[in-house]
Chains A and B, each alone.
Chain A
Amino acid sequence: DGGITQSPKYLFRKEGQNVTLSCEQNLNHDAMYWYRQDPGQGLRLIYYSQIVNDFQKGDIAEGYSVSREKKESFPLTVTSAQKNPTAFYLCASSITGDPGELFFGEGSRLTVL
């Protein structure tokens, strides 16, 4: 089955530690995205990539980093510079030029202890 796989589903981190969230897709989509979801705030875009080896900052990129070395993979690193990292993180992908057809993974819930 085609889809997006995020791992881990749940993650606990101590303050000051970096953590990397994995996102893999086998849909052959060019574009991939990372969103952060907080209660009552909807989804906010962290980073996006429309092609391999290129990515752009979204609305809330501070304290996060990404890479896009392969079409299938778009990992997100939450660095110690992110002041409030506890959240639900969602990865998505889409065909370039197809408005709205975002395909989402099941999310990763990060809790900072």
Chain B
Amino acid sequence: AQSVTQLGSHVSVSEGALVLLRCNYSSSVPPYLFWYVQYPNQGLQLLLKYTSAATLVKGINGFEAEFKKSETSFHLTKPSAHMSDAAEYFCAVSGTYNNNDMRFGAGTRLTVKP
């Protein structure tokens, strides 16, 4: 079984500052890992995914994440926060190509201060 833990339900940064959202996973098989973003009252949108290729994954809107097996982590970063980055971010893990076993973290709400 797979699971993810997102550290920090709320993160607040100033505009232009580094964004770091933490995700640790647990998986009995090599994992597929994902980050999704959700804007208020909308569905989720895929930001990026790791599927056993390069450990540093680049996504949309300037976000990237690094898969670290030794730390069982997949933290999401962005060098410079923009006001439009304010949203809720979900880390997810899957153990197979079947998305029906995907498990989501509880989410981290990112606030960007002007």
Residues on A close to B: CB < 8 A?
4, 31, 33, 40-45, 48, 50, 56, 58, 90, 92, 94, 96-102, 104-107, 109
Contact residues of B with A, CB < 8 Å?
9, 32, 34, 36, 41-46, 49, 51, 90, 92, 94, 96-100, 102, 104-107
- Give the complex CA separation of A43 and B91 in angstroms: 11
With A100-B51, A104-B45, A107-B43 in contact, do A50 and B34 touch (Cβ < 8 Å)?
Answer: no
Listed by A's residue number, 8 A-B pairs whose Cβ atoms lie within 8 Å are A31-B99, A42-B90, A42-B104, A45-B102, A99-B51, A99-B99, A100-B34, A106-B41
- Of chain A, the residue at the smallest CB distance from B31 is A99
Q: Which of A50, A96, A97, A107 contacts B42, CB < 8 Å? A: A107
Q: Which residues of B contact A42 (CB under 8 A)?
A: 90, 104-107
Add 16 more A-B contacts to A48-B99, A50-B100, A104-B44 (CB < 8 A). Answer: A33-B99, A33-B100, A40-B106, A40-B107, A41-B106, A42-B104, A43-B104, A90-B43, A92-B43, A96-B98, A98-B97, A100-B32, A100-B46, A100-B51, A102-B99, A107-B42
Q: For the complex, give the distance between the alpha carbons of A58 and B64 in Å.
A: 30
A49 to chain B, nearest CB (A): 9
* Residue of A with least CB distance to B50: A100
Give complex CA distance A40, B9 in Å. 8
